[in-house]
């Protein structure tokens, strides 16, 4: 059975923190949705003007570059968790503090094109990893950030996380 048959994950498949992200994902083939979203976001972000790079809408908020870096980092992190669960790794995956990672990411020293390219390649790799997963593979569970989560839920969270931050960029950063 392909991923197109995946139902939306139940609330027992992920920590309540991720509910908003899961709700942002569309019904239907989540892998096709991830692929389409990646293409759409990359096209939009490539059009960002260079002066947006270091822009912060408030003093203590992330720069536009840091938001893009955070999206790419989260893409990498959540796909790694999914791969571990798919490959039978039983060790719990540690939590990650974004407020530690983002300031240490070096995103402000990179150009927006580099950050967009990183996301693009991460997303392409993820689509290939997830394409054709069986229902049983999507149902595999593991522990991440001290909570049980399924591979299927991670796919929906990846979509919603990118969509959430894309909306923040659109609403608060782009003039």
Q: Please state the pTM of the whole predicted model.
A: 0.94
- Which residue has tokens 């260079």? 50
Single out the residue of 151, 122, 142, 164 nearest to residue 3, CA to CA: 151
Q: Which residues sit opposite 143 in a β-bridge?
A: 148
Could you tell me if 141 and 85 are in contact, meaning their C-beta atoms sit under 8 angstroms apart? yes
**pLDDT tens by residue, 117-135:** 999 999 999 999 999 899 9
- Report whether pLDDT(30) > 60: yes
Quote the CA–CA distance of 90 and 41 in Å, as a whole number: 33
For residue 106, the domain's CATH number is 1.20.120.450
Quote the CA–CA distance of 15 and 43 in Å, as a whole number: 31
For residue 129, what are the contacts with CB-CB under 8 A and spacing of at least 6?
Answer: 79, 82, 83, 86
Helix/strand/coil for 150: strand
Quote the CA–CA distance of 130 and 43 in Å, as a whole number: 22
**pLDDT tens by residue, 44-63:** 999 998 888 899 999 999 99
Total domains present in the chain: 1
Quote the CA–CA distance of 117 and 130 in Å, as a whole number: 20
Residue 49 structural domain: 3-173
């Amino acid at each position: 059975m392909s991923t197109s048959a995946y139902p939306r994950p139940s609330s027992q498949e992920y920590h309540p923190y991720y509910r908003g992200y899961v709700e942002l994902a569309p019904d239907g083939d989540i892998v096709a949705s991830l692929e389409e979203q990646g293409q759409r976001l990359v096209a939009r972000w490539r059009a960002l003007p260079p002066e947006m790079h270091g822009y912060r809408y408030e003093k203590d908020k992330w720069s536009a570059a840091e938001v893009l870096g955070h999206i790419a980092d989260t893409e990498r992190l959540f796909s790694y968790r999914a791969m571990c669960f798919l490959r039978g790794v039983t060790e719990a995956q540690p939590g990650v503090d974004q407020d530690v990672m983002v300031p240490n990411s070096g995103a402000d020293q990179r150009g927006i094109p580099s950050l967009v390219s990183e996301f693009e390649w991460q997303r392409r790799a993820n689509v290939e990893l997830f394409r054709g997963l069986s229902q049983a593979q999507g149902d595999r569970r593991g522990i991440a950030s001290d909570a049980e989560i399924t591979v299927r839920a991670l796919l929906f969270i990846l979509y919603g996380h990118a969509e959430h931050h894309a909306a923040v960029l659109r609403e608060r950063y782009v003039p």
